[in-house]
Amino acid sequence: MSEPSWTSGEIPQDRPNAARMYDYSLGGFHNFAADRRAAEQVVAVFPDLPLALQANRGFLRRAITTLVTQGIDQFLDIGSGIPTVGNVHEAAQKLNPTARVVYVDIDPIAVHHSELILRANPNAAVIQADARRTEYILNHPKTSGLLDFSRPLAMLIVAVLHFVPDDAEAYGLVRVLRDALPSGSYLALSHASTEGITRETADKMEQIYARTATPFKFRTRPQVESFFDGLDLLDPGVVYMPLWRPDGPDDLLLDEPERTTGLAGVGRKP
Ligand code: SAM
């Protein structure tokens, strides 16, 4: 069978990874058989996965709306993923056509596909990098070319840090990136938590992800809250993703938000 246009022969197709498993679970088609098998294994132990991912995308969209409304017009999106409906630049530029977005992802397919859709967009760019390479990201010409660090900006680290299991690395990268932001900037973050899920199910999911290129770690509520230390949390604080400023009473899982396990919040740097 010939290669699809969105990939290249250099990408190993037999090792699943988070970007392509997420794409598959959201109904996308930039994934391989191994990604689909792994995603289905996760769904077998955690059937609410597709709903949780949709709730995560809902949080991301509502956070962007809130941030643009607060006057933010530049975004650094770490672990941005394979483009899907309602990308950050689309949501932000719908409200402010001059909004600027720099996407960062470790996955070459996410980056390649982002490059394709951003070709005609001078206000958005993508960098392939591991989030742990903070200096590389901050000093990259695309970052300095699009983002002005003398003015407030928003850093999005949405559904990513559970793929950085080492605590020192996860908290370390957030600290370095936050330190680079000027006062009045924001951090929007979501993270799979140990709430709303049994330890047994969490263990099974972590074991499946341990066999992929992107191991996974659930963190407790206090551990998720710690990413916001020193920031002023916007209302309603760190909450289950559906509860973060829902659009209305019919929002997904508003009545059973714990089914997502994901906690989310937005903090402002004083
Ligand atoms: N942020 C998007 C969202 O919320 O819709 C995508 C989230 S997706 C679940 C996680 C993304 O994080 C994947 O695209 C994956 O490639 C990326 N990722 C995982 N580990 C990473 C790392 N160490 N550095 C950069 N990106 C990473």
Give residue-wise pLDDT tens across range 103-112.
999 999 899 9
Q: Whose CA is nearest to atom 10 of ligand 1?
A: 160
* Centre of ligand 1 from the C-alpha of residue 190, in Å: 11
| Predicted pLDDT at 30 | 87
Among 23, 106, 127, which is best to mutate for testing ligand 1, by the most ligand atoms less than 8 A from CB? 106
Q: CA 112, CA 240: separation in Å to the nearest integer?
A: 32
| Predicted pLDDT at 150 | 98
Could you tell me if 104 and 80 are in contact, meaning their C-beta atoms sit under 8 angstroms apart? yes
Among 133, 156, 160, which is best to mutate for testing ligand 1, by the most ligand atoms less than 8 A from CB? 160
* Centre of ligand 1 from the C-alpha of residue 79, in Å: 3
Question: What is the rounded (10 degree) CA torsion for 107, 113, 115, 118?
Answer: -130
In terms of Cβ atoms closer than 10 Å to its own Cβ (0-12, 13-18, 19+), residue 142 is middle
- The pTM of the full predicted model, rounded to 2 decimals, is 0.95
CA atoms within 13 A on the CB side of 1: 5
* Centre of ligand 1 from the C-alpha of residue 84, in Å: 13
Residue 98 gets the label, from left (phi > 0), alpha (psi -120 to 50) or beta, of alpha
* Centre of ligand 1 from the C-alpha of residue 105, in Å: 6
Q: CA 11, CA 4: separation in Å to the nearest integer?
A: 12
Q: Tell me the residue type at 39.
A: A
Q: CA 100, CA 77: separation in Å to the nearest integer?
A: 11
| Predicted pLDDT at 1 | 44
Ligand 1-lining residues (CB < 6 angstroms): 18-19, 22, 56-57, 60, 79-81, 105-107, 110, 130-132, 158-160, 163-164, 214
| Predicted pLDDT at 10 | 67
Structure tokens at 185: 């900037």
Backbone angles phi, psi at 105, to 5 degrees: -150, 150
CA 159 to chain centre: 4
Q: CA 266, CA 156: separation in Å to the nearest integer?
A: 9
Please state, as a whole number, how many other Cβ atoms lie within 10 Å of the Cβ of residue 185.
22
| Predicted pLDDT at 3 | 55
**Residues in the chain where the model's pLDDT stays below 50:** 1
| Predicted pLDDT at 109 | 87
| Residues 6 or more apart whose Cβ sits within 8 Å of residue 19 | 81, 82, 105, 106, 107, 109, 110, 214
The atom number, within ligand 1, closest to the CA of 77 reads: 1
CA atoms within 13 A on the CB side of 234: 20
Find residue 267's DSSP bridge partners. Answer: 187, 233
* Residues in the chain, total: 270
Q: Whose CA is nearest to atom 4 of ligand 1?
A: 158
pLDDT tens for 194-238 read 999 999 999 999 999 999 989 999 999 999 999 999 999 999 999
